[in-house]
Amino acid sequence: GENVEQHPSTLSVQEGDSAVIKCTYSDSASNYFPWYKQELGKRPQLIIDIRSNVGEKKDQRIAVTLNKTAKHFSLHITETQPEDSAVYFCAASYPGNTPLVFGKGTRLSVIA
Amino acid sequence: SAVISQKPSRDICQRGTSLTIQCQVDSQVTMMFWYRQQPGQSLTLIATANQGSEATYESGFVIDKFPISRPNLTFSTLTVSNMSPEDSSIYLCSVVPRANEQFFGPGTRLTVL
């Protein structure tokens, strides 16, 4: 089955700097790669996703890139703000409405 | 996205007892999943709740411990049976209303004493 590795486990950045979180997946059959943000005590919220037919997707300050050959994808947050502080999870799934396999998460702290 | 509710939002239970968690969605969805999130950890899939048939369980999770019902396309229940402190976790249902995009319920925070 699919396995998703996520790095780093913790990340601290100064407000205004960029943050990058990286994930690798094991199964080339996976074709959907979402990112979730989970604030303390809250449910995971889908913030951006990318499908295997696309190399990059951007939504305001966040962007995701996908390298199918290397089987890795990354989340980029620019101009970080204190409210970006949370745990971020990457995930992968197979075609169809299949369940997600999650990475272990990255705790991002944005220091004002 | 879908509007998903869970009941209860939290509970404190004694070991050896059982708790049933309800998940309600505001629209009909084919796929509904149950996940567990242990303290400080990632999300682990327990099972896929299939409408009209038995749930499909992941390795390490069994029906006797986590029986699931899915009577219709908007509702599911997960029961945590014969609980022990190791079952203390957040339990989340999720749905896929369209094309892989998965949305989570607010979760049920379970503490077993």
Cis peptide before A8 (omega within 30 of 0): yes
DSSP string, chain B: ---EEEE-SEEEE-TT--EEEEEEESS--S-EEEEEE-TT--EEEEEEE-TTS--EEPTT--TTTS-EEEEETTEEEEEE-S--GGG-EEEEEEEEEETTEEEE---EEEEE-
| Subunit contact A44:B43, Cβ cutoff 8 A | yes
pLDDT of residue A72: 96
For A96, phi then psi, to 5°, come to 85, 175
**Would you call B104 and A43 a contact, using CB atoms and an 8 Å cutoff?**
yes
Q: State the residue for tokens 């899915």.
A: B70
Confidence of residue A44 (pLDDT cuts 50, 70, 90): very high
Residues of chain B in contact with residue A52, where contact means CB-CB under 8 angstroms, are none
Confidence of residue B92 (pLDDT cuts 50, 70, 90): very high
Residues B51 and A97: their CA atoms lie apart, in Å, by 14
Which residues in A lie closer than 8 A to residue B100 (C-beta atoms)? 32, 34, 49, 51, 93, 96-98
User: What are the tens digits of pLDDT across the range A77-92?
Assistant: 999 999 999 999 999 9
The DSSP 8-state label assigned to residue A22 in this structure reads E
| B6-51: pLDDT as tens digits | 999 999 999 999 999 999 999 999 889 999 999 999 999 999 998 8
Q: How far apart are CA B53 and CA A10, in angstroms?
A: 41
Contact A49 B106 (CB under 8 A): no
State the Cα–Cα distance between residues B9 and B85, nearest whole angstrom.
Answer: 18
pLDDT of residue B102: 92
